[in-house]
Amino acid sequence: MNLYLEDEYNFFEKHEDLFEEIQKVIAKCLEVEKVPYESEISLTVVDKEEIRSINHEYRDIDRATDVLSFPQIDPESNGIIDWEKLDETEVMNYDTNHIMLGDIVLCYEVADEQAKSYGHSLKREVCFLVAHSMFHLLGYDHMNEEDEKLMIAKQNEVLSDLGINR
């Protein structure tokens, strides 16, 4: 797995242990979903103003949010990417021979506020947000109650397996 990081705010410099944990979360998500390809993901850390701007531009929602996901692969149906039918030419980075899963944009300010609000660690909040975003990149969504339950179960499985609890 290749994880490309853009962190102009030096968030991970201040929280070095979190970057290692994020890599574990991403690897576990790929393992749980049995992704048969080497994959690459980009992670961009932004502040509230930047995520508000991105949220407005891409989702027409003019407010800050915690994390945004930009998948590169369209699933056959919710949560299902048929890896055998995948047209690799559409999502392959030929420089690395890895499948490009997509981009995660994480707002460090909102993550910190939410961790405090929920009464758990910043590590738990950031890892939860990355797992949540990874499952979006892997085709899951939470547009209805059934899909939301499935996505939450997947996220909880990953975090529980890694011992990242509230």
Tell me the average pLDDT of the chain. 93
Q: What is the pLDDT of residue 79?
A: 63
Burial state string for 120-135 with b = 16 or more CB within 10 A and e = fewer than 16: eebebbbbbbbbbbbb
Q: Where are the alpha helices (DSSP H) in 60-121?
A: 88-91, 108-118
pLDDT beyond 70 at 107: yes
Residue 9 inside a domain? The answer is yes
- Residue 166 located in a structural domain: no
pLDDT for 77 equals 59
| Mean pLDDT in residue range 83-98 | 87
R_g of the chain computed on alpha carbons: 15
12 — pLDDT class (breaks 50, 70, 90): very high
| Range picked from 76-80, 81-85, 87-91, 94-98 for highest mean pLDDT | 94-98
pLDDT in tens, 139-148: 998 888 998 9
- In whole angstroms, give the CA distance from residue 97 to residue 24: 21
Q: Is the pLDDT of residue 162 over 80?
A: yes
Residue 56 annotated as lining a ligand binding site: no
Whether 98 is in a domain gets the answer yes
Look up the domain containing 142 and give its range.
2-161
- Asked if residue 144 belongs to a domain, the reply is yes
Going by DSSP bridges, is the β-strand pair 39-46/2-7 parallel, antiparallel, or unpaired?
A: parallel
Q: Is 132 annotated as a binding residue?
A: yes
Distance CA 60, CA 27 (A): 31
- What is the percentage of the chain residues whose pLDDT exceeds 70? 98
Q: Considering the entire predicted model, what is its pTM?
A: 0.94
The C-alpha torsion from 12 through 15 and 20 to 24, rounded to 10°, is -100
Nearest to 36 by CA among 78, 73, 77: 73
pLDDT tens by residue, 31-85: 999 999 999 999 999 999 999 999 999 999 999 999 999 999 987 755 678 888 8
Cβ-based burial of 151 (10 A; exposed 0-12, middle 13-18, buried ≥19): buried
How many domains does the chain divide into?
1
Q: What are phi and psi of 55, to 5 degrees?
A: -60, -40
Give the pLDDT mean for 114-138.
96
* pLDDT > 60? residue 118: yes
Tell me if 12 is assigned to some domain.
yes
The amino acid that residue 27 corresponds to is A
Which DSSP state fits 61? Answer: -
If you ran DSSP here, which 8-state letter would residue 36 be given?
Answer: -
**Domain holding 16: CATH number?**
3.40.390.30
